[in-house]
């Protein structure tokens, strides 16, 4: 049954390697779902906001990784 | 008609490229197993795993037709976003030299050594070879199944083009494996992952938007706009991340 555990671990790894990154995506999607039904935004504006938020999360996460890498290199 | 082609074309390409990456990784291990311990058990192990995966696709595909489309789009789109953006982020960081590239030659050498250390093979039935080939095909195949279902679940009739893309990738890799008999070291894996990350992120964003009943400004053609936008952002991010790290770039094959 070890291979089932390995496969389950691999499946989890498919979606998550940086927990903060994955969590930020989920929070943004939940927020957008809430705004779609509670705020008087046009559906087109919401669609653009959805993409813009995801793009920002991607940029922030990659830049954060790069900065962390720089700090690691400086320490060593 | 144009809308159908925009969806179908991108589905086939996304599924083909994503599956190609996974199939190449599986091929590396199967070649190592087969060349050290014998081909019979290795190939039976891989074929058994492919049969199991096909049953999973058939079962999940049938089950998906019973769930309302907006729910599938929201759930699958969310998973596709987690998966696609993770790939895209990693591909950007690899291109910026911040993460080492995957080396198929090194993986082949490592797996060959492991197989040699597990005792004698070449018997009529080699459990080690069967298990190793089955496991790697199941592992990489599960990713392919997810990609096919995720891309195919976004709309009616999309499962077939997504499946065709995956089958085409499998056939290409099998053909190359038969011809070359060595790992496909020259496959530009990070370029593929970069492209697939862009495509899956665009699909995920589009499906989630549809699942939330948002209106994309250009309708179904927005998927092409999303692809272009993610690609532009990712390409701009590579030099930015390189600059932020202020570190010497890793060599192409450093591990």
ipTM above 0.90, yes or no: no
CB contact under 8 A, B244 and A70: yes
pLDDT tens string A4-36: 777 777 778 878 888 899 999 999 999 999 998
Q: Does B157 or B35 have the greater pLDDT score?
A: B35
The helix (H) or strand (E) run that includes residue A18 is: none
**Average pLDDT of chain B, as a whole number:** 81
Q: Does B52 or B247 have the greater pLDDT score?
A: B52
Query: Cβ(B137)–Cβ(B30) under 8 Å?
Result: yes
pLDDT tens string B210-224: 888 888 888 878 889
List chain A domain ranges: 2-75
- B216 vs A contacts (CB less than 8 Å): 44, 47
Task: Please give the pLDDT value at position A25.
Answer: 96
pLDDT beyond 80 at A74: no
Name the nearest CA neighbour of B14 among B236, B202, B188. B202
Query: Cβ(A24)–Cβ(B86) under 8 Å?
Result: no
CA distances for B83 relative to B65, B150, B249, angstroms: 23, 10, 26
Closest-CA distance, A60 to chain B, in angstroms, reads 10
Q: How far apart are CA B201 and CA A18, in angstroms?
A: 16
Averaged pLDDT for residues B131-150 = 85
Task: Please give the pLDDT value at position B201.
Answer: 94
pTM: 0.78
pLDDT tens string B151-172: 877 666 777 888 889 899 989 9
Residue B86 banded pLDDT, cuts 50, 70, 90: very high
Residue B127 banded pLDDT, cuts 50, 70, 90: confident
- A18 vs B contacts (CB less than 8 Å): 86, 89
* Phi, psi angles (nearest 5°) of residue B211: -65, -30
CA distances for B68 relative to B64, B75, B153, B157, B211, angstroms: 8, 11, 11, 14, 10
pLDDT beyond 60 at B251: no
Closest-CA distance, B96 to chain A, in angstroms, reads 9
């Amino acid at each position: 049954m070890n291979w089932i555990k390995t496969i389950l671990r691999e499946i989890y790894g498919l979606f998550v390697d940086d927990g903060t990154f994955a969590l930020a995506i989920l929070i943004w999607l939940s927020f957008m779902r809430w705004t779609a039904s509670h705020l008087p935004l046009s559906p087109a504006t919401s669609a653009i906001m959805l993409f813009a938020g995801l793009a920002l999360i991607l940029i922030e996460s990659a830049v954060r990784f790069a900065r962390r890498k720089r700090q690691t290199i400086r320490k060593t | 008609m144009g809308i159908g082609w925009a969806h179908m074309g991108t589905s086939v390409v996304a599924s083909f490229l994503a599956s190609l990456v996974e199939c190449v990784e599986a091929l590396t291990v199967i070649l190592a197993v087969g060349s050290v311990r014998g081909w019979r058990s290795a190939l039976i192990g891989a074929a058994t795993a492919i049969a199991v995966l096909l049953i999973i696709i058939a079962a999940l595909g049938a089950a998906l037709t019973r769930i309302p489309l907006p729910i599938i789009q929201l759930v699958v789109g969310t998973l596709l976003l987690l998966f696609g953006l993770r790939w895209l982020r990693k591909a950007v960081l690899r291109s910026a030299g911040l993460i080492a590239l995957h080396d198929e030659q090194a993986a082949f050498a490592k797996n060959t050594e492991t197989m040699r250390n597990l005792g004698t093979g070449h018997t009529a039935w080699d459990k080690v070879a069967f298990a190793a080939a089955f496991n790697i095909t199941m592992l990489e195949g599960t990713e392919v199944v997810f990609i096919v279902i995720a891309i195919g679940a976004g709309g009616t009739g999309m499962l077939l083009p997504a499946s065709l893309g995956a089958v085409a990738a499998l056939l290409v890799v099998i053909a190359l494996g038969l011809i070359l008999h060595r790992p496909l070291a020259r496959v530009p894996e990070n370029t593929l992952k970069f492209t697939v990350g862009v495509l899956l992120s665009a699909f995920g964003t589009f499906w989630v938007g549809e699942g939330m009943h948002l209106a994309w400004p250009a309708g179904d053609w927005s998927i092409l706009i999303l692809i272009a936008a993610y690609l532009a952002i990712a390409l701009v991010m590579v030099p930015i991340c390189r600059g932020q790290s202020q570190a010497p770039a890793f060599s192409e094959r450093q591990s």
